[in-house]
Protein backbone atom coordinates (compact mmCIF):
# COMPACT_ATOMS: atom_id res chain seq x y z
CA UNK A 1 0.00 0.00 0.00
CA UNK A 2 1.25 3.53 -0.80
CA UNK A 3 1.98 6.26 1.77
CA UNK A 4 -1.15 8.13 0.63
CA UNK A 5 -3.27 5.07 1.26
CA UNK A 6 -1.59 4.59 4.70
CA UNK A 7 -2.39 8.18 5.74
CA UNK A 8 -5.99 7.83 4.56
CA UNK A 9 -6.33 4.57 6.46
CA UNK A 10 -5.04 6.24 9.67
CA UNK A 11 -7.52 9.09 9.23
CA UNK A 12 -10.30 6.60 8.67
CA UNK A 13 -9.45 4.72 11.87
CA UNK A 14 -9.29 7.94 13.92
CA UNK A 15 -12.66 9.20 12.69
CA UNK A 16 -14.26 5.81 13.21
CA UNK A 17 -12.89 5.84 16.78
CA UNK A 18 -14.37 9.28 17.33
CA UNK A 19 -17.79 8.00 16.27
CA UNK A 20 -17.49 5.05 18.66
CA UNK A 21 -16.40 7.35 21.54
CA UNK A 22 -19.31 9.73 20.95
CA UNK A 23 -21.74 6.84 20.95
CA UNK A 24 -20.33 5.32 24.19
CA UNK A 25 -19.94 8.58 26.17
CA UNK A 26 -22.44 8.69 29.16
CA UNK A 27 -25.39 10.98 28.62
CA UNK A 28 -25.30 14.27 30.65
CA UNK A 29 -27.88 15.00 33.32
CA UNK A 30 -31.09 16.65 32.02
CA UNK A 31 -30.89 20.44 31.78
CA UNK A 32 -33.84 22.26 33.33
CA UNK A 33 -33.81 24.92 30.58
CA UNK A 34 -35.83 23.49 27.66
CA UNK A 35 -34.08 25.71 25.07
CA UNK A 36 -30.69 24.40 26.18
CA UNK A 37 -32.12 20.87 26.09
CA UNK A 38 -33.04 21.37 22.41
CA UNK A 39 -29.65 22.86 21.55
CA UNK A 40 -27.80 20.06 23.35
CA UNK A 41 -29.91 17.40 21.64
CA UNK A 42 -29.15 18.94 18.24
CA UNK A 43 -25.42 19.08 19.03
CA UNK A 44 -25.48 15.52 20.36
CA UNK A 45 -26.84 14.32 16.99
CA UNK A 46 -24.85 16.67 14.77
CA UNK A 47 -21.33 15.85 15.99
CA UNK A 48 -21.39 12.08 15.40
CA UNK A 49 -23.35 12.60 12.18
CA UNK A 50 -20.67 14.96 10.91
CA UNK A 51 -17.99 12.48 11.96
CA UNK A 52 -19.83 9.69 10.20
CA UNK A 53 -20.11 11.83 7.07
CA UNK A 54 -16.37 12.46 7.28
CA UNK A 55 -15.82 8.72 7.54
CA UNK A 56 -17.93 8.18 4.39
CA UNK A 57 -16.01 10.92 2.61
CA UNK A 58 -12.68 9.35 3.56
CA UNK A 59 -13.94 5.93 2.47
CA UNK A 60 -14.89 7.40 -0.90
CA UNK A 61 -11.47 9.03 -1.21
CA UNK A 62 -9.71 5.81 -0.23
CA UNK A 63 -11.76 3.82 -2.75
CA UNK A 64 -11.11 6.41 -5.46
CA UNK A 65 -7.38 6.54 -4.75
CA UNK A 66 -7.15 2.75 -4.55
CA UNK A 67 -9.09 2.38 -7.80
CA UNK A 68 -6.91 5.00 -9.47
CA UNK A 69 -3.80 3.20 -8.23
CA UNK A 70 -5.12 -0.12 -9.55
CA UNK A 71 -5.98 1.44 -12.91
CA UNK A 72 -2.56 3.06 -13.05
CA UNK A 73 -0.90 -0.27 -12.31
CA UNK A 74 -3.00 -1.90 -15.06
CA UNK A 75 -2.09 0.82 -17.53
CA UNK A 76 1.57 0.55 -16.56
CA UNK A 77 1.42 -3.23 -17.00
CA UNK A 78 -0.10 -2.78 -20.44
CA UNK A 79 2.34 -0.08 -21.46
CA UNK A 80 5.25 -2.07 -20.10
CA UNK A 81 4.67 -4.95 -22.54
CA UNK A 82 8.04 -4.91 -24.21
CA UNK A 83 8.31 -3.84 -27.81
CA UNK A 84 9.58 -6.78 -29.90
CA UNK A 85 13.33 -6.66 -30.25
CA UNK A 86 13.43 -8.15 -33.72
CA UNK A 87 11.41 -8.40 -36.90
CA UNK A 88 11.84 -10.76 -39.81
CA UNK A 89 11.21 -10.07 -43.46
CA UNK A 90 11.24 -12.09 -46.61
CA UNK A 91 13.20 -10.61 -49.49
CA UNK A 92 14.05 -12.09 -52.86
CA UNK A 93 11.91 -13.77 -55.47
CA UNK A 94 11.14 -17.47 -55.70
CA UNK A 95 13.80 -19.98 -54.70
CA UNK A 96 16.34 -17.17 -54.26
CA UNK A 97 14.28 -15.74 -51.42
CA UNK A 98 15.80 -15.36 -47.98
CA UNK A 99 14.82 -14.30 -44.48
CA UNK A 100 16.46 -11.31 -42.82
CA UNK A 101 16.31 -10.87 -39.06
CA UNK A 102 16.54 -7.18 -38.17
CA UNK A 103 16.77 -5.13 -34.99
CA UNK A 104 13.65 -3.06 -34.26
CA UNK A 105 15.72 -0.34 -32.57
CA UNK A 106 18.50 0.03 -35.16
CA UNK A 107 17.26 -1.69 -38.31
CA UNK A 108 20.53 -3.59 -38.56
CA UNK A 109 20.47 -7.04 -40.16
CA UNK A 110 21.18 -9.45 -37.31
CA UNK A 111 21.17 -12.58 -39.45
CA UNK A 112 20.30 -13.83 -42.92
CA UNK A 113 18.58 -17.18 -43.19
CA UNK A 114 18.71 -19.10 -46.47
CA UNK A 115 16.24 -21.86 -47.36
CA UNK A 116 17.38 -25.26 -46.11
CA UNK A 117 18.84 -27.77 -48.55
CA UNK A 118 16.79 -30.83 -49.34
CA UNK A 119 17.76 -33.94 -51.33
CA UNK A 120 14.17 -34.45 -52.54
CA UNK A 121 13.13 -30.86 -53.33
CA UNK A 122 14.74 -28.86 -56.10
CA UNK A 123 13.75 -25.60 -54.43
CA UNK A 124 11.93 -24.24 -51.40
CA UNK A 125 9.99 -21.06 -52.15
CA UNK A 126 9.18 -18.89 -49.12
CA UNK A 127 5.43 -18.32 -48.64
CA UNK A 128 4.98 -16.92 -45.11
CA UNK A 129 6.78 -16.13 -41.84
CA UNK A 130 5.62 -15.87 -38.21
CA UNK A 131 7.13 -15.02 -34.82
CA UNK A 132 6.66 -16.97 -31.58
CA UNK A 133 5.89 -15.28 -28.22
CA UNK A 134 9.52 -15.59 -27.03
CA UNK A 135 10.63 -13.04 -29.70
CA UNK A 136 13.47 -15.39 -30.67
CA UNK A 137 11.76 -18.29 -32.41
CA UNK A 138 10.48 -17.89 -35.95
CA UNK A 139 8.58 -20.12 -38.35
CA UNK A 140 8.91 -20.16 -42.13
CA UNK A 141 6.51 -21.74 -44.60
CA UNK A 142 7.92 -23.00 -47.89
CA UNK A 143 6.41 -24.36 -51.05
CA UNK A 144 8.42 -27.46 -51.94
CA UNK A 145 9.05 -27.63 -55.68
CA UNK A 146 10.33 -30.74 -57.42
CA UNK A 147 9.18 -33.34 -59.98
CA UNK A 148 10.35 -35.95 -57.47
CA UNK A 149 7.54 -34.97 -55.07
CA UNK A 150 4.01 -36.31 -55.25
CA UNK A 151 1.98 -33.19 -55.88
CA UNK A 152 2.58 -29.79 -54.33
CA UNK A 153 3.67 -29.71 -50.72
CA UNK A 154 3.98 -27.23 -47.86
CA UNK A 155 7.02 -27.55 -45.62
CA UNK A 156 7.28 -25.63 -42.37
CA UNK A 157 10.58 -25.04 -40.59
CA UNK A 158 11.61 -23.15 -37.48
CA UNK A 159 14.80 -21.44 -36.35
CA UNK A 160 15.85 -19.45 -33.29
CA UNK A 161 18.02 -16.43 -32.62
CA UNK A 162 20.73 -17.17 -30.07
CA UNK A 163 22.06 -14.82 -27.40
CA UNK A 164 25.19 -14.23 -29.45
CA UNK A 165 23.16 -13.02 -32.43
CA UNK A 166 23.56 -16.09 -34.61
CA UNK A 167 20.72 -18.33 -35.77
CA UNK A 168 20.19 -22.02 -35.23
CA UNK A 169 19.85 -24.32 -38.26
CA UNK A 170 16.33 -24.57 -39.63
CA UNK A 171 14.52 -27.74 -38.60
CA UNK A 172 11.20 -29.06 -39.86
CA UNK A 173 8.51 -28.93 -37.17
CA UNK A 174 6.46 -31.97 -36.20
CA UNK A 175 3.64 -32.32 -38.69
CA UNK A 176 5.30 -29.70 -40.87
CA UNK A 177 5.29 -31.63 -44.14
CA UNK A 178 1.81 -31.22 -45.64
CA UNK A 179 1.27 -33.07 -48.90
CA UNK A 180 -1.05 -32.25 -51.78
CA UNK A 181 -1.32 -28.64 -50.63
CA UNK A 182 -0.17 -25.22 -51.69
CA UNK A 183 -0.14 -21.94 -49.82
CA UNK A 184 -2.30 -20.34 -52.48
CA UNK A 185 0.11 -18.14 -54.44
CA UNK A 186 -2.62 -15.71 -55.47
CA UNK A 187 -2.99 -14.56 -51.85
CA UNK A 188 0.28 -15.88 -50.40
CA UNK A 189 0.29 -17.81 -47.18
CA UNK A 190 -0.62 -16.95 -43.61
CA UNK A 191 1.12 -18.23 -40.49
CA UNK A 192 0.09 -17.39 -36.92
CA UNK A 193 1.48 -18.74 -33.63
CA UNK A 194 -0.95 -19.15 -30.73
CA UNK A 195 -0.44 -16.85 -27.71
CA UNK A 196 0.95 -19.73 -25.63
CA UNK A 197 3.31 -20.82 -28.41
CA UNK A 198 1.95 -24.38 -28.62
CA UNK A 199 0.02 -24.23 -31.92
CA UNK A 200 0.63 -22.93 -35.42
CA UNK A 201 -2.22 -21.94 -37.75
CA UNK A 202 -1.89 -21.54 -41.50
CA UNK A 203 -4.01 -21.11 -44.60
CA UNK A 204 -3.73 -23.49 -47.56
CA UNK A 205 -5.37 -24.59 -50.77
CA UNK A 206 -5.99 -28.21 -51.64
CA UNK A 207 -4.65 -29.29 -55.01
CA UNK A 208 -6.92 -32.29 -55.25
CA UNK A 209 -8.90 -31.19 -58.29
CA UNK A 210 -7.98 -32.56 -61.71
CA UNK A 211 -7.71 -30.53 -63.74
CA UNK A 212 -7.13 -27.36 -61.75
CA UNK A 213 -9.61 -24.92 -63.25
CA UNK A 214 -8.44 -21.74 -61.51
CA UNK A 215 -5.35 -20.37 -59.79
CA UNK A 216 -4.88 -21.53 -56.22
CA UNK A 217 -6.41 -19.38 -53.48
CA UNK A 218 -6.08 -20.09 -49.78
CA UNK A 219 -9.47 -21.39 -48.69
CA UNK A 220 -8.55 -23.84 -45.91
CA UNK A 221 -7.31 -23.39 -42.31
CA UNK A 222 -4.94 -25.92 -40.74
CA UNK A 223 -3.81 -25.92 -37.10
CA UNK A 224 -0.69 -27.89 -36.12
CA UNK A 225 0.00 -28.92 -32.53
CA UNK A 226 3.70 -28.05 -32.22
CA UNK A 227 4.21 -30.64 -29.45
CA UNK A 228 2.63 -33.65 -31.17
CA UNK A 229 2.42 -32.68 -34.84
CA UNK A 230 -1.29 -33.48 -34.91
CA UNK A 231 -3.22 -31.45 -37.50
CA UNK A 232 -6.80 -30.17 -37.56
CA UNK A 233 -8.39 -28.51 -40.58
CA UNK A 234 -11.46 -26.53 -41.63
CA UNK A 235 -12.61 -25.99 -45.21
CA UNK A 236 -15.77 -25.32 -47.20
CA UNK A 237 -19.19 -23.94 -46.44
CA UNK A 238 -18.57 -20.37 -47.63
CA UNK A 239 -18.76 -20.96 -51.38
CA UNK A 240 -20.83 -18.53 -53.48
CA UNK A 241 -21.90 -19.10 -57.05
CA UNK A 242 -19.67 -17.46 -59.67
CA UNK A 243 -17.34 -16.03 -57.01
CA UNK A 244 -13.88 -16.94 -55.77
CA UNK A 245 -13.49 -17.36 -51.99
CA UNK A 246 -10.16 -16.85 -50.21
CA UNK A 247 -8.74 -16.24 -46.74
CA UNK A 248 -6.26 -13.35 -46.97
CA UNK A 249 -5.72 -12.93 -43.22
CA UNK A 250 -5.52 -15.27 -40.20
CA UNK A 251 -4.74 -14.66 -36.52
CA UNK A 252 -5.57 -15.84 -32.99
CA UNK A 253 -7.92 -14.48 -30.36
CA UNK A 254 -6.31 -13.15 -27.18
CA UNK A 255 -7.18 -16.28 -25.16
CA UNK A 256 -5.88 -18.64 -27.86
CA UNK A 257 -9.17 -20.50 -28.05
CA UNK A 258 -10.33 -19.17 -31.39
CA UNK A 259 -9.00 -18.28 -34.80
CA UNK A 260 -9.92 -14.98 -36.40
CA UNK A 261 -9.98 -15.05 -40.19
CA UNK A 262 -10.93 -12.65 -42.95
CA UNK A 263 -13.04 -14.28 -45.66
CA UNK A 264 -13.22 -12.53 -49.01
CA UNK A 265 -15.35 -13.11 -52.12
CA UNK A 266 -14.27 -11.73 -55.50
CA UNK A 267 -15.23 -12.19 -59.13
CA UNK A 268 -13.82 -15.35 -60.63
CA UNK A 269 -10.33 -14.90 -62.06
CA UNK A 270 -10.35 -13.34 -65.48
CA UNK A 271 -8.90 -10.52 -67.55
CA UNK A 272 -10.94 -7.87 -65.68
CA UNK A 273 -10.88 -9.34 -62.15
CA UNK A 274 -9.26 -7.03 -59.61
CA UNK A 275 -11.17 -7.61 -56.32
CA UNK A 276 -10.60 -3.94 -55.51
CA UNK A 277 -14.12 -3.15 -54.39
CA UNK A 278 -14.63 -0.52 -57.06
CA UNK A 279 -17.42 -0.03 -59.54
CA UNK A 280 -15.54 -1.30 -62.59
CA UNK A 281 -16.36 -4.67 -64.11
CA UNK A 282 -14.56 -7.51 -62.35
CA UNK A 283 -13.73 -5.48 -59.22
CA UNK A 284 -16.43 -6.96 -56.97
CA UNK A 285 -15.23 -7.56 -53.40
CA UNK A 286 -17.06 -8.57 -50.23
CA UNK A 287 -15.45 -9.43 -46.89
CA UNK A 288 -16.44 -10.80 -43.49
CA UNK A 289 -14.46 -11.33 -40.29
CA UNK A 290 -15.12 -14.71 -38.68
CA UNK A 291 -14.30 -16.35 -35.36
CA UNK A 292 -13.70 -20.11 -35.36
CA UNK A 293 -13.34 -22.06 -32.12
CA UNK A 294 -10.41 -24.48 -32.15
CA UNK A 295 -12.44 -26.78 -29.87
CA UNK A 296 -14.75 -27.64 -32.79
CA UNK A 297 -12.01 -30.00 -33.93
CA UNK A 298 -12.27 -29.29 -37.65
CA UNK A 299 -15.01 -29.38 -40.25
CA UNK A 300 -16.46 -26.60 -42.35
CA UNK A 301 -15.58 -22.94 -41.92
CA UNK A 302 -19.23 -22.23 -41.17
CA UNK A 303 -18.78 -23.85 -37.75
CA UNK A 304 -17.58 -20.39 -36.71
CA UNK A 305 -19.55 -17.15 -36.46
CA UNK A 306 -19.45 -13.77 -38.19
CA UNK A 307 -17.96 -10.93 -36.12
CA UNK A 308 -17.95 -8.11 -38.67
CA UNK A 309 -19.42 -7.59 -42.12
CA UNK A 310 -18.36 -5.24 -44.86
CA UNK A 311 -20.71 -2.24 -44.88
CA UNK A 312 -20.94 1.47 -45.60
CA UNK A 313 -18.99 2.03 -42.36
CA UNK A 314 -16.40 -0.56 -43.40
CA UNK A 315 -16.39 -0.20 -47.22
CA UNK A 316 -13.47 -2.54 -47.83
CA UNK A 317 -11.80 -4.56 -45.07
CA UNK A 318 -8.24 -5.15 -46.17
CA UNK A 319 -6.90 -6.80 -42.98
CA UNK A 320 -8.34 -8.10 -39.70
CA UNK A 321 -6.55 -9.19 -36.54
CA UNK A 322 -7.82 -10.83 -33.37
CA UNK A 323 -6.56 -10.33 -29.83
CA UNK A 324 -6.09 -7.18 -27.75
CA UNK A 325 -5.01 -4.99 -30.65
CA UNK A 326 -4.38 -1.30 -30.15
CA UNK A 327 -4.58 0.84 -27.03
CA UNK A 328 -8.24 0.04 -26.44
CA UNK A 329 -7.59 -3.68 -25.95
CA UNK A 330 -10.44 -4.44 -28.32
CA UNK A 331 -11.61 -7.74 -29.79
CA UNK A 332 -10.60 -6.83 -33.36
CA UNK A 333 -8.22 -4.55 -35.16
CA UNK A 334 -9.11 -3.94 -38.79
CA UNK A 335 -7.46 -2.13 -41.67
CA UNK A 336 -10.16 -0.40 -43.72
CA UNK A 337 -9.58 1.27 -47.08
CA UNK A 338 -11.87 3.79 -48.71
CA UNK A 339 -11.84 6.79 -51.02
CA UNK A 340 -11.88 5.20 -54.46
CA UNK A 341 -9.74 6.82 -57.13
CA UNK A 342 -8.99 5.90 -60.72
CA UNK A 343 -8.21 2.27 -61.57
CA UNK A 344 -10.07 0.98 -58.49
CA UNK A 345 -7.44 1.96 -55.97
CA UNK A 346 -7.93 3.32 -52.45
CA UNK A 347 -6.76 6.66 -51.10
CA UNK A 348 -7.65 6.46 -47.38
CA UNK A 349 -6.44 3.85 -44.89
CA UNK A 350 -7.64 3.67 -41.28
CA UNK A 351 -6.59 1.16 -38.62
CA UNK A 352 -9.43 0.81 -36.13
CA UNK A 353 -10.19 -1.08 -32.91
CA UNK A 354 -13.65 -2.62 -33.21
CA UNK A 355 -15.97 -4.37 -30.75
CA UNK A 356 -16.72 -7.89 -31.92
CA UNK A 357 -19.99 -7.83 -29.96
CA UNK A 358 -21.48 -4.69 -31.49
CA UNK A 359 -19.31 -3.75 -34.48
CA UNK A 360 -18.77 -0.30 -32.95
CA UNK A 361 -15.48 1.49 -33.54
CA UNK A 362 -13.79 1.86 -30.15
CA UNK A 363 -10.65 3.67 -31.22
CA UNK A 364 -8.89 4.81 -34.38
CA UNK A 365 -5.25 3.82 -34.09
CA UNK A 366 -4.06 5.38 -37.32
CA UNK A 367 -5.34 7.23 -40.37
CA UNK A 368 -3.63 7.89 -43.68
CA UNK A 369 -4.83 9.92 -46.65
CA UNK A 370 -2.79 9.83 -49.83
CA UNK A 371 -2.42 12.92 -51.97
CA UNK A 372 -4.74 13.87 -54.78
CA UNK A 373 -4.41 11.59 -57.77
CA UNK A 374 -2.58 8.93 -55.76
CA UNK A 375 -3.93 5.50 -54.90
CA UNK A 376 -2.95 1.94 -54.10
CA UNK A 377 -4.40 -1.55 -54.40
CA UNK A 378 -6.21 -2.84 -51.28
CA UNK A 379 -4.07 -5.97 -51.49
CA UNK A 380 -0.94 -3.89 -50.77
CA UNK A 381 -1.79 -3.30 -47.11
CA UNK A 382 -0.47 -5.57 -44.34
CA UNK A 383 -1.09 -5.54 -40.58
CA UNK A 384 0.86 -7.73 -38.18
CA UNK A 385 0.54 -7.85 -34.39
CA UNK A 386 3.31 -9.04 -32.12
CA UNK A 387 2.43 -12.12 -30.00
CA UNK A 388 1.28 -9.90 -27.11
CA UNK A 389 -1.22 -8.22 -29.42
CA UNK A 390 -0.17 -4.81 -28.08
CA UNK A 391 2.06 -3.61 -30.90
CA UNK A 392 0.91 -3.30 -34.49
CA UNK A 393 3.20 -3.38 -37.48
CA UNK A 394 1.80 -1.86 -40.67
CA UNK A 395 3.14 -1.91 -44.21
CA UNK A 396 1.66 -0.36 -47.33
CA UNK A 397 2.88 0.34 -50.84
CA UNK A 398 3.78 3.79 -52.16
CA UNK A 399 5.68 4.94 -55.22
CA UNK A 400 9.10 3.35 -55.06
CA UNK A 401 8.49 0.69 -52.42
CA UNK A 402 6.86 0.12 -49.04
CA UNK A 403 6.39 2.20 -45.89
CA UNK A 404 6.91 0.02 -42.79
CA UNK A 405 6.44 1.01 -39.17
CA UNK A 406 4.63 0.43 -35.91
CA UNK A 407 1.53 2.31 -34.75
CA UNK A 408 1.50 4.25 -31.49
CA UNK A 409 -0.40 7.30 -30.20
CA UNK A 410 -2.18 7.76 -33.50
CA UNK A 411 1.01 7.95 -35.54
CA UNK A 412 3.14 5.65 -37.65
CA UNK A 413 6.69 5.28 -36.34
CA UNK A 414 8.79 4.08 -39.23
CA UNK A 415 11.25 1.30 -38.62
CA UNK A 416 14.89 2.45 -38.88
CA UNK A 417 15.48 1.16 -42.39
CA UNK A 418 15.62 3.00 -45.70
CA UNK A 419 12.08 3.92 -46.72
CA UNK A 420 10.30 3.58 -49.05
CA UNK A 421 11.79 0.12 -48.71
CA UNK A 422 12.16 -1.72 -52.00
CA UNK A 423 12.82 -5.45 -51.55
CA UNK A 424 13.91 -7.78 -54.30
CA UNK A 425 10.35 -9.02 -54.60
CA UNK A 426 7.20 -7.08 -55.44
CA UNK A 427 5.49 -8.40 -52.29
CA UNK A 428 6.82 -7.76 -48.81
CA UNK A 429 6.03 -10.29 -46.06
CA UNK A 430 7.07 -9.27 -42.58
CA UNK A 431 6.48 -10.42 -38.99
CA UNK A 432 7.63 -9.63 -35.45
The DSSP string of 272-324 is T---S-SSSTT--EEEEEEEEEGGG-SB-GGGSEEEEE--SSSS-EEEEEEEE
Indicate if the pLDDT at residue 427 is higher than 60: no
In a domain, 234, yes or no: yes
In a domain, 32, yes or no: no
The pLDDT, as a whole number, for residue 216 is 59
The pLDDT, as a whole number, for residue 285 is 87
More confident residue, 94 or 147: 147
Check whether residue 121 and residue 247 sit in a common domain: yes
Check whether residue 11 and residue 97 sit in a common domain: no
The pLDDT, as a whole number, for residue 326 is 47
In a domain, 263, yes or no: yes
Check whether residue 337 and residue 203 sit in a common domain: yes
Check whether residue 129 and residue 254 sit in a common domain: yes
Show Cβ contacts of residue 101 under 8 Å, excluding neighbours closer than 6 positions. 86, 87, 88, 109, 110, 111, 112, 113, 138, 161, 167
More confident residue, 54 or 37: 37
> In degrees to the nearest 10, what's the CA dihedral of 72, 74, 75, 77?
120
Check whether residue 146 and residue 21 sit in a common domain: no
What pLDDT digit, counting tens, does each position of 225-248 carry?
A: 999 999 999 999 998 888 889 998
Check whether residue 54 and residue 128 sit in a common domain: no
CATH number at 196 reads 2.120.10.30
The pLDDT, as a whole number, for residue 198 is 97
Indicate if the pLDDT at residue 172 is higher than 90: yes
Indicate if the pLDDT at residue 122 is higher than 60: yes
What pLDDT digit, counting tens, does each position of 183-223 carry?
A: 654 456 789 999 999 999 999 986 554 334 445 578 899 99
Q: Give the model's confidence band at 283: pLDDT under 50 very low, under 70 low, under 90 confident, else very high.
A: confident
The pLDDT, as a whole number, for residue 33 is 53
The pLDDT, as a whole number, for residue 64 is 33
In a domain, 34, yes or no: no
Check whether residue 405 and residue 326 sit in a common domain: yes
Q: Give kind and range of the element (H or E) at residue 57.
A: helix 34-79
Domain count, the chain: 2
More confident residue, 297 or 62: 297
Check whether residue 222 and residue 361 sit in a common domain: yes
- What value does the mean pLDDT take over residues 353-363? 90
Check whether residue 47 and residue 177 sit in a common domain: no
Show Cβ contacts of residue 187 under 8 Å, excluding neighbours closer than 6 positions. 203, 217, 218, 246, 247, 248
C-alpha atoms less than 13 angstroms from C-alpha of 230 in its C-beta half-sphere? 6
- What value does the mean pLDDT take over residues 290-310? 95
The pLDDT, as a whole number, for residue 410 is 86
Q: Are 57 and 11 in contact (CB under 8 A)?
A: no
For 229-256, b where at least 16 C-beta lie within 10 A, e where not — what string?
eebbbbbeebeeeebbbbbbbbbbbbeb
In a domain, 281, yes or no: yes
Q: Give the model's confidence band at 424: pLDDT under 50 very low, under 70 low, under 90 confident, else very high.
A: low
The pLDDT, as a whole number, for residue 147 is 76
The pLDDT, as a whole number, for residue 405 is 92
Check whether residue 15 and residue 98 sit in a common domain: no
Phi-psi region of 78 (alpha: psi -120 to 50; beta: other; left: phi over 0): alpha
The pLDDT, as a whole number, for residue 423 is 67
Indicate if the pLDDT at residue 1 is higher than 80: no
Q: Give kind and range of the element (H or E) at residue 44.
A: helix 34-79
Least confident of 7-11, 224-228, 313-317: 7-11
Check whether residue 162 and residue 235 sit in a common domain: yes
Indicate if the pLDDT at residue 296 is higher than 90: yes
Check whether residue 172 and residue 309 sit in a common domain: yes
- What value does the mean pLDDT take over residues 82-94? 82
In total, the chain counts a number of residues equal to 432
Q: Measured between alpha carbons, how far is 192 from 384 in angstroms, rounded to an integer?
A: 10
> Domain of 326?
86-431
In a domain, 71, yes or no: no
For residue 420, whether the previous peptide bond is cis, meaning omega lies within 30 degrees of 0, is: yes
What pLDDT digit, counting tens, does each position of 362-396 carry?
A: 989 999 887 766 777 777 888 888 877 778 899 88
Amino acid sequence: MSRTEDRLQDALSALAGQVRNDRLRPLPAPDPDPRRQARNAWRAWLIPAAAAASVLLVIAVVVAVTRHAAESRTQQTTSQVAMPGYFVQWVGAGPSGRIQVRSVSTGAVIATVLPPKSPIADALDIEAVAAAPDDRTFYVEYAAISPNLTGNQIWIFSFSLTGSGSVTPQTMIKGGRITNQTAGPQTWGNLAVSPDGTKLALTADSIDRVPVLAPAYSDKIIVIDLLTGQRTQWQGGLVRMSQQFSIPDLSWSADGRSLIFLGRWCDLPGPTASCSGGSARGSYSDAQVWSLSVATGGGTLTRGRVLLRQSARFPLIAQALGGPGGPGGSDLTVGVVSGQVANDKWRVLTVEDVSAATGAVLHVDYGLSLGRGQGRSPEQVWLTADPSGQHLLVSYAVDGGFIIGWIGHGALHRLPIAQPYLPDNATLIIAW
